[in-house]
């Protein structure tokens, strides 16, 4: 039963990779990587159930946290060209 | 009772994976950054919710593992909030960078007064 979900998740991961390779703008690529990350969370959770190992859910939870933080950090880097500076420099809006 | 639970969780899992496939296809085929963000994030959160509900039924009834059920609820709760937040941040970053969302006829859908490029990054 879980096999079908695992196969569907792999297909969607491949689609996300296709979009990350094709994506003209960097935001397409960030979107594809973010989607790939959330699909990986689901894949780990379902694969944990497939092989009867409930402790995979911890890995899935940590991966969800890191995926979110990574996406927002990359976006901040794109918007302000620097992670260290404050949200608004002096001459900003 | 057990077969009913299996059937219900199986249906939920299949529905969730169907939504994810729709989102994946939408992410590849859509013309614009914003439409792709919409396709990917809406179906992502929805599909993940369905799959986690299916796993929750399995964790409670067939595996009888309450700790796994709690973890599934935690993951679903966390992804329910951070999915849309990340997509919003992504769309805002794309808008700030000056990528103009275009309508059907190719004209910008937001009125000229916003003057996007000037509010973007200094070097953009």
Number of domains in chain A: 1
**A77 in contact with B, Cβ within 8 Å:** no
Note the pLDDT tens digit of each residue in A22-42. Answer: 988 899 999 999 999 999 999
Q: What is the mean pLDDT of chain B?
A: 85
Secondary element (H or E) of residue B33? helix B33-57
- Rounded alpha-carbon distances, angstroms, from residue A84 to A2, A52, A77, B51, B92: 43, 43, 9, 38, 20
Residue A93 lies in a domain: no
pLDDT average, residue stretch A5-9: 94
pLDDT in tens, B64-119: 888 999 999 999 999 999 999 999 999 988 888 878 887 777 777 776 656 555 55
B37 interaction partners in chain A (CB closer than 8 Å): 27, 31
pLDDT, tens only, A60-84: 999 999 999 999 999 988 887 777 7
CB contact under 8 A, A79 and B93: yes
- A90 falls within a domain: no
> Chain B residues with CB inside 8 Å of A34's CB?
40, 86-87, 90
Is residue A26 situated within a structural domain? yes
* Residue boundaries of the structural domains of chain B: 2-123
Place of tokens 């103009």: B100
Q: Whole domain around residue A35: which residue ranges?
A: 2-82
pLDDT band, very low/low/confident/very high, at B12 (cuts 50, 70, 90): very high
Nearest to A27 among B52, B94, B123 (CB): B94
What CA–CA distance (Å, rounded) separates A5 from B68? 19
Question: Residue B108 carries which DSSP code?
Answer: B
Rounded to the nearest angstrom, the minimum Cα separation between B72 and chain A is 7
């Amino acid at each position: 039963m879980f096999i079908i979900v695992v196969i569907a998740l792999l297909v969607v991961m491949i689609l996300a990779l296709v979009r990350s390779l094709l994506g003209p703008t960097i935001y397409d690529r960030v979107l594809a990587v973010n989607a790939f990350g959330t699909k990986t969370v689901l894949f780990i959770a379902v694969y944990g159930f497939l092989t009867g190992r409930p402790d995979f859910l911890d890995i899935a939870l940590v991966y969800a946290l890191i995926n979110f933080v990574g996406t927002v950090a990359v976006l901040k880097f794109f918007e302000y060209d620097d992670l260290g500076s404050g949200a608004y420099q002096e001459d900003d809006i | 009772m057990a077969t009913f639970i299996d059937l219900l969780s199986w249906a939920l899992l299949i529905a969730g994976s169907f939504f994810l496939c729709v989102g994946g296809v939408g992410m590849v085929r859509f013309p614009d950054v914003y439409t792709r963000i919409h396709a990917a994030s809406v179906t992502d959160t929805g599909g993940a919710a369905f799959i986690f509900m299916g796993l929750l039924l399995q964790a409670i009834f067939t595996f009888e593992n309450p700790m796994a059920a709690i973890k599934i609820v935690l993951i679903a709760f966390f992804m329910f909030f951070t999915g849309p937040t990340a997509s919003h941040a992504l769309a805002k970053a794309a808008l700030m960078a000056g990528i103009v969302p275009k309508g059907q006829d190719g004209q910008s859908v937001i009125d000229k007064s916003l003057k996007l490029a000037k509010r973007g990054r200094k070097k953009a």
